[in-house]
Amino acid sequence: MFKPIKLAVNRKVLKGDARTRTVEGGKTLIVSWGAEGAEGSFQTEYRLVLKAEGELLFDSGAVSDKKQMCFVPCFGFPEGKKIEISLAVKDDFGNESLEKAEYFYIGSTDWTAGWIVMDGAPDAATVYFRREFSVDKPVKSARMYAAGLGYHEILINGEKIGNAYLDPAHTDYSKSVEYVFYPEIEKAILPGRNVVCARVGGGWRDNNTGMIKDLNVPVRFFGKRQLSLILKVEYEDGETEEIHSDETWQAGTGASVRSNLFDGEIYDANSAQTGWDKAGFDGFQNARFTDAPGGRMRVMTLAPIREMGVYKPLSISHPKKGVSIIDFGQNLSGVVRMKLKDLKKDQKITLVHAEELDEDGMLYTLPLRKAKCEDVYIASGDERDLSLWQPDFTYHGFRYVSVAGYDPDYDSIEAVLLHTDLESDSFFVSGSAQLNALQKQILMTERDNMHSILTDCPQRDERMGWMNDATVRFEETPYNFDCAGMFQKIVRDLMDVQSGDGAITCTAPFVFGARPADPVCSSFLVAGMQSYLHFNDLETIREAYPAFCAWENYLLSKSDDYIVTYSYYGDWAGPGYACEGGEDGAKSCVTPGEFMSTGYSYFNLKTLAQMARLLNREDEAQNHEETSEKVKASMLKKWYNAENASMATGSMACQAFSLWLNIIPENDAPRAAKKMRDDLVNANYAFTTGNLCSRYMLDMLSEYGYINEAYELLTREEYPSFGFMRQHEATTVWERFELKKNPGMNSHNHPMYGAAGSFLYKYIAGVYPENGGYETFTVKPFMPEKLLSAQAGIDTRYGRINVRWTKRYGEAHLYVDVPFGTTCHAEFMGETRTWTHGTHMIHVPLEK
């Protein structure tokens, strides 16, 4: 059946509820789509129509074009209203498609509301805001815009609006504040008296605890818990009413007496304010105006944090009297949900969360450092007690929970997985149980580190967007997740922290690290380029291109004869034997930091040349290319030894990074790769690469004919390896390869080494995009001798790419599904093909 699929507006696929259908306003909307049609067909014509409440907003008419995209001018489009979109396409056989109907909302609005706080609010207490209003005639529609910093929960007449947690997205509030748009909430508004309420927890607004407090870090976006909100009501008679946050609101406190991101939440039922969220309550003081946090107001278009899974106990043990240890069988990020009954007044229930157990069966909490990761419930012993308790304004990274003060059973306690909803239909699976287990590890580690930023870890007193780790991670994430919106936000977060001289910071939003960032933080550019390649998002590159250039120009200004002269991390956190200070250190003792820094300066320039050409800035592209050649020449002059084809120290990382950058003379590259491979094998696979070059070494082993060695690295179980982690009960990827008993750099849920996931898709399955959104893509599998099959699906904006290869019956077989509107260049066992839409295959005798 011929039909359009996967309608997207501004690269956002229209699906699910209103939160995933909200887009930012502007001069132009970009509407794109996929389609399903006859094999070999392509689009020749489309017609796109947009309406709101029956009024025509845009009609493209019949447009003859192969491009599955339309630029829609949106001046005068109604703010906050449902915009209905319909699309029909025609193919080259003359077939006309069924019509595809979807809808979306423009969530942007002019921000006219003030910011309010509670005078004298107790430290760390959740602040409760409320405002009553009357409705005396039929309501046609209602919508709301809200930003409670750090996190908010919105209620109308006692009912929570939406199903998201930890809203709004975390930003540098002094530069940007994201507000949440709630459309079509008219059903929550009743005739007569109503009340709109907000509970505001700390989140990242006042998270001055743990290591942040110890280091006395001045965080410019810290401040008071505050609220700004606009409620717009339209009546059937055409009259409109707006309710803004102002000093007519009331503010107070309640049962949530502490809400802290790192330390957890305390819920004291004795402090509950019964009826505070219903009309007629009069127990709070008046709120007062306060200064705005300073940042521009922007609608949150990133998918929200949701409940994404529930885990029942795998086991419950009692190693100490009065304490239950719950093993949920999976390291995850989120909170615990408990059923409560038969509580006594002042009965105290304490939950502590951790990733590991000590030898005595109790929690091992030292790796949490100063984060308490503790949620507490204090009972009132009466009707104010909750029957179901779940903390609202915190999350923890944990597999194990200790429960004191209550005796849970297998039916009364569960772990709730919370993360930003970036799920896609992409997948990787193979004939190797080890590779499949690794893929599962990577997926869970990524999910556990998606909380409106892509964090380094979910458990200790850190949980920040570290950009050095992300440089390779950002090549894996888009294979597994629909992260176009996340990449756009990360790029904007980095633009917010960028100073006038072009320097960015190691973390964004910036809490600690350094300004300027380590030069390995090319993640700034990688996020923009990968968003284009995987999701056809050229607008993020267009918006940030000057900022990308400014960061590279800063590095050039800190260079001597094109050699960058500073480094903090370099190829970070390799196996302990390859680090200064052993396993308690993390800086490589075998790979020079300045070598890594300069290599990324070269990489930036090559990437900027690509971006400039995409933006039709050919003169600038040539300038970037010319400068990159100067950097390359300086690197070769300073570090290259032609006699043994080695760079710098000749470490595995130096060889892998140089080969990946393609700076070693072409005739010498095979010798350079052989040295890397021989050093690895002679060391019995005890690699010396760190968080960046471990991924590059996998790639380069494959490119130069050593796929079997790359496969061995990924499937072995001896230290150091992913299999070693799993042998020690790991369900997520660790920060270090050692099983350590100390608090320093000992996260067991750290995505930087999960960057190996891109290798599974790009080399084992062999799929990678050649241009925007996989309009043209390559399939070129690398088949290890010991692996007999692999399969992957890539969830693109055009539709699903499916790739499967097997070795059976004396032949190697390749099968590829090419989506409508795309072209595949396949290379398999010496055979090459170019395919358009349809299912295709190649069969080659194995002896070939």
Cα angle value 32/33/37 (rounded, 5°): 150
Q: What is the DSSP string of 640-672?
A: EETTTTEETT--HHHHHHHHHHT-S-TTTHHHH
What's the whole-number mean pLDDT along residues 287-312? 97
Encode 175-226 in three state secondary structure: CEEEEEEECCCHHHCCCEEEEEEEEEECCCCCCCCHHHHHCCCCCCCCCCCE
Measured CA to CA in angstroms, residue 104 lies from 77, 87, 140, 174, 184 at distances of: 12, 14, 19, 29, 12
What's the whole-number mean pLDDT along residues 336-348? 98
More confident residue, 359 or 215: 359
Q: What is the pLDDT of residue 216?
A: 86
Q: What is the pLDDT of residue 648?
A: 98
pLDDT digits (tens, 9 = 90+) for 693-709: 999 999 999 999 999 99
On whether the CB atoms of residues 606 and 628 are closer than 8 A, the answer is yes
pLDDT digits (tens, 9 = 90+) for 584-606: 999 999 999 999 999 999 999 99
Instruction: Quote the pTM value.
Output: 0.97
What's the whole-number mean pLDDT along residues 555-583? 97
pLDDT surpassing 90 at residue 676:
yes
Confidence of residue 75 (pLDDT cuts 50, 70, 90): confident
Residue in 823, 832, 782, 785 with CA at minimum distance from that of residue 805: 782
* Cβ-Cβ contacts under 8 Å for 718 (sequence gap 6 or more): 685, 724
- How buried is residue 329: exposed, middle or buried, by Cβ count under 10 Å (0-12/13-18/19+)? middle
User: Which is it for strands 28-36 and 69-73: parallel, antiparallel or unpaired?
Assistant: antiparallel
| DSSP annotation of 255 | S
Both tokens of 482, joined, read 């629909």
What's the whole-number mean pLDDT along residues 435-455? 98
Q: How far apart are CA 513 and CA 507, in angstroms?
A: 6
- Residues pairing with 514 in the sheet: none
Q: What is the pLDDT of residue 2?
A: 86
pLDDT surpassing 90 at residue 178:
yes
Q: How far apart are CA 522 and CA 607, in angstroms?
A: 10
Q: What is the DSSP string of 474-492?
A: HHHHHHHB--HHHHHHHHH
Residue in 467, 604, 466, 593 with CA at minimum distance from that of residue 523: 467
Q: Is 524 helix (H, G, I), strand (E, B) or coil?
A: helix
pLDDT surpassing 80 at residue 1:
no
Return contacts of 627-634, CB within 8 angstroms, 24+ apart. 627/556, 627/562, 628/602, 630/562, 631/562, 631/598, 631/601, 631/602, 631/605, 632/602, 632/663, 633/562, 634/561, 634/562, 634/563, 634/598
Residue in 11, 839, 40, 131 with CA at minimum distance from that of residue 488: 11
| DSSP annotation of 304 | P
The single residue listed with the structure tokens 């050093």 is 679
Cis peptide before 478 (omega within 30 of 0): no
The single residue listed with the structure tokens 């052989």 is 674
The CB density around residue 443, as the number of other CB atoms within 10 Å, is: 19
Confidence of residue 848 (pLDDT cuts 50, 70, 90): low
When the pLDDT of each residue in the chain is averaged and rounded to a whole number, the result is 97
Q: How far apart are CA 192 and CA 402, in angstroms?
A: 47
Measured CA to CA in angstroms, residue 499 lies from 221, 607, 655 at distances of: 16, 21, 34
pLDDT digits (tens, 9 = 90+) for 624-658: 999 999 999 999 999 999 999 999 999 999 999 99
User: Which is it for strands 127-135 and 240-244: parallel, antiparallel or unpaired?
Assistant: unpaired
On whether the CB atoms of residues 737 and 719 are closer than 8 A, the answer is yes
- Residues pairing with 802 in the sheet: 793, 817
Confidence of residue 217 (pLDDT cuts 50, 70, 90): confident
More confident residue, 38 or 84: 84
Overall residue count recorded for the chain in this entry? 848
Confidence of residue 26 (pLDDT cuts 50, 70, 90): confident
Q: Is 712 helix (H, G, I), strand (E, B) or coil?
A: helix
Q: What is the pLDDT of residue 626?
A: 98
Q: What is the pLDDT of residue 27?
A: 86
pLDDT digits (tens, 9 = 90+) for 700-756: 999 999 999 999 999 999 999 999 999 999 999 999 999 998 888 999 999 999 999
- Residues pairing with 334 in the sheet: 396, 417
Q: What is the residue type of 47?
A: R
